[in-house]
Structure 1
Amino acid sequence: MLKSLYSGVSGMKGFQTKLDVIGNNISNVNTVGFKKGRVMFQDLMSQNIAGVTAPTNQHGGVNPKQIGLGTGVGSIDTVFTPGSPMTTNVGSDLAINGDAFFVVKPDPNGNDFYLTKAGNFNRDANGMLVNSNGYSVTGVDGAKDQVPIVIDKDEHTNLKFTSYSIDSNGYINVVSEDGKSGKLAWDATNKQYYLNDGSDPTKDTENISLATSVVNNPGGLMKVGNTMFKATGNSGPANIERIEDNKGGQMIAGVLEMSNVDLTDEFTEMIVAQRGFQANAKTITTSDTILQEIMDLKR
């Protein structure tokens, strides 16, 4: 059979995959924290008709004669360029201007965690800061102890927190019902949350900030759904630290990082994929016509 038939089929399969990725990008154009994908093609093996001949004193060299056998998907990359910021003026909505990711856990006291750029957080009935799936937003203190962020009351004085805000380094500034203000802190000894008013500098290391993580190769992260990622062997370790320690950027409250999908690019790539699919289909129909001509030689 003609090799062009199989080359055309491989091309159609590749462009179908490209259209699948483009469709997913477009469907998530307004998804908070979504990172678009792209398909990169590479040629498959080639059949050698004749090998290489090196030049000699008597004659010049001869190049190899090869016939390509189609194309394949080389990679489906996740593009981690920044998304467009959207101002919401909601204090618990956060965006990171930098490379860091937020850290969320399905079990607040468990070891499993996920990374995300989606900062649309809120407090549940117990005052715990969670994402839209109910996963707890992880906090970290100066000793790198990981704790859930519970903005409810000062457990030393039993006074409720009446308001809170999150600064650019992820610290939670709280105000208690007696009018005192300070940072939300974690007393690891007594395992209690309390308001640190700054009067004792030795307790500053107990201040809680939102945990973040920076990985060496974001493209190696695995998508697990719900705009969350999981570290893999090729992403590098996801160490959980303060954002000021891992140099991951700054947090911006009242802003959300939206999808980095550009509809102009996606529709252009869709046209390219559609025409590529049609061209490969034409290769198959042309090959079929040639085969029909061969069959008609018998008549």
Structure 2
Amino acid sequence: MSMNAALSGLAAAQADISTISNNIANVSTIGFRGSRVEFADVYNSSPYTTSRTTIGSGTQLVRVAQNFGQGNIVTTGNRLDLAIEGQGFFAVQSGASTANAPADLHFTRAGAFEMNAKGNIVNASGETLLGWPVAANGAALNGTFGAAQPINLPQTMGTAERTTEVQMGLHFPVDTAGDLQQDAVPPTAAFDPNAPATYAFSSPMPVRDANGVAQSAKVYFVKTAEPDATSTTTTYEAHVIVNGVEQTAAPAATLNFDENGVMDPAATAFTFGAGALAMSVDMAGSQLSAGRFTVASASDNGKGLSSLSSLSIDQTGTIWATYGAEDRVAMGKVMLASFSNPSGLRVLGNSSFAATADSGSAIVGEPSSQGFGMLRSGALESANVDLTEQLVDLIAAQRNYQASAKALETSKTMMDSIMNIRG
């Protein structure tokens, strides 16, 4: 039996060394929970034996216990990096739930998250962080486990509006000698945006469709008259092209400037297009001036969707997003989960765990509430492994292995001695 006891000691020491080695290997793994091996002695006894004469039969591995103590908090500056100071786990979901196949639900302390193309907050494995919808003040609408859902942050928000009015301020040159691309005044051919000889100047103009998307729009100016012996008026005709299609002006968009370069105030705004592309283009303030053709100002009343510009997560897990120059909006609240017996959780790898009958069902709550830790944004929890302690334990486990090996060698020597006895 001494050889069996020695062999069990070798196996136990090997298990201890393997567990310590795993802890050391993951000392830099975010959210990793260290573990330790627990052993129990082995006795072969019966009702006919007494404890005074019973010799143990070695040791056996009882379990590998997880250490759920707090790890160090390391600041990263990334707003979607989250660390829990205190009790609780993040709940993450792999895949989507269906009527026949519920999504895999995992729990982790690793809070290295990012936003995917769909706007979901996910970890490196693509698992989605779960939370609750919130009211305008950031309070969860329904803080139950069944109400949890993937947290989604849309990249854009707001109401789009199409362009119906455009304002432009233009400076036309007084002297166009050597600066006029059209071949004559008026040009010898009809206006053609693809023929520079048929217009004098052009400029992009801001136009948005009903979805708030900027369109390819340009305004062209054809010089149709210049001062002569009979008139001091300079005249330009405006043409608007949107997405390659000319938008007809009714009446014709004619800009008249007097000898002082002042535009006729009676005709500064013109209507182009019809239906969904109908718009008023107001060129009040345009003038003839020295220098080259320039656009002093150009704006429209169209409105695109506001893009996500900033993000913050407070200590209670409320996610606040700012779109464009608007006020920040509460987008969701991170849910935390705890268990009556965390040691009963099943280890999955990737610093994740699954609930079991031993751990009990998940108990959910908000960060910073009773029984749950505070959430820190821009930080991560490192592995709760003390490297120095692990190295000391490794030395002890190595000596245990050597001692068990020596005991096995001694047992073998004794057996050899018995086998060599001759009558």
What TM-score bracket applies, with the shorter chain setting the length? 0.7 to 0.9
Encode CA deviations 1:168-187: one digit per residue, 9 max, x unaligned: 01101111124221211xxx
Kindly provide the amino acid, as one letter, of the partner of residue 121 in structure 1: F
Identity %: 33
Q: How far has the Cα of 1:292 moved from its partner?
A: 1.3
Q: How far has the Cα of 1:247 moved from its partner?
A: 3.0
Encode CA deviations 1:244-264: one digit per residue, 9 max, x unaligned: 556311100111000011111
Q: Using the alignment, how far apart are the partners of 1:244 and 1:261 within structure 2?
A: 25
Q: Which has the higher helix share?
A: 1
Change (3 A) 1:125 1:286: same
DSSP-derived class of the 2:54 partner: strand
Q: Using the alignment, how far apart are the partners of 2:118 and 2:370 within structure 1?
A: 30
**8 A Cα contact 2:43 2:54, kept in partner:** no
Q: Residue in 2 aligned with 1:134?
A: 126
DSSP-derived class of the 1:66 partner: coil
Q: Which 10-residue stretch deviates more, 160-169 or 255-264? A: 160-169
Q: How far has the Cα of 1:153 moved from its partner?
A: 4.4
- Number of aligned pairs? 264
Encode CA deviations 1:71-121: one digit per residue, 9 max, x unaligned: 101221001111111111111111001111001111144542100000000
Q: How far has the Cα of 1:125 moved from its partner?
A: 1.6
Change (3 A) 1:210 1:151: same
Within a 5 Å distance, the mapping from 1:237-256 to structure 2 comes to 237-244=361-368, 247-256=371-380
Q: Using the alignment, how far apart are the partners of 1:49 and 1:227 within structure 2?
A: 46
Change (3 A) 1:132 1:235: same
Encode CA deviations 1:33-54: one digit per residue, 9 max, x unaligned: 00011011110123469745xx
Q: How far has the Cα of 1:225 moved from its partner?
A: 1.1
Kindly provide the amino acid, as one letter, of the partner of residue 400 in structure 2: G
Q: 1:274 aligns with which of 398, 402, 407?
A: 398
Q: Structure 1 length normalisation: TM-score?
A: 0.83
Within a 5 Å distance, the mapping from 1:71-150 to structure 2 comes to 71-109=59-97, 110-141=102-133, 142-143=141-142, 144=144, 145-150=147-152
Q: Residue in 2 aligned with 1:66?
A: 54
Encode CA deviations 1:226-282: one digit per residue, 9 max, x unaligned: 111001111111134433556311100111000011111111111111111111111
Q: How far has the Cα of 1:126 moved from its partner?
A: 2.0
The gaps in structure 2 that reach 5 residues or longer are 134-140, 160-304
Q: How far has the Cα of 1:161 moved from its partner?
A: 2.3
DSSP-derived class of the 2:358 partner: coil
Q: Residue in 2 aligned with 1:11?
A: 9
Q: 1:25 aligns with which of 20, 23, 26?
A: 23
Q: Residue in 1 aligned with 2:320?
A: 173
Kindly provide the amino acid, as one letter, of the partner of residue 127 in structure 1: G
Find the structure with the greater CA-based Rg. 2
**8 A Cα contact 1:47 1:68, kept in partner:** no
Kindly provide the amino acid, as one letter, of the partner of residue 288 in structure 1: K
Change (3 A) 1:49 1:138: closer
Kindly provide the amino acid, as one letter, of the partner of residue 313 in structure 2: I
Q: Using the alignment, how far apart are the partners of 2:389 and 2:368 within structure 1?
A: 35
Q: Residue in 1 aligned with 2:309?
A: 162
Kindly provide the amino acid, as one letter, of the partner of residue 8 in structure 2: S
Encode CA deviations 1:153-201: one digit per residue, 9 max, x unaligned: 46563533221110001101111124221211xxxxxxxxxxxxxxxxx
Q: Using the alignment, how far apart are the partners of 1:85 and 1:22 within structure 2?
A: 22
Q: Using the alignment, how far apart are the partners of 2:74 and 2:365 within structure 1?
A: 26
DSSP-derived class of the 2:366 partner: coil
Q: Using the alignment, how far apart are the partners of 2:388 and 2:62 within structure 1?
A: 24
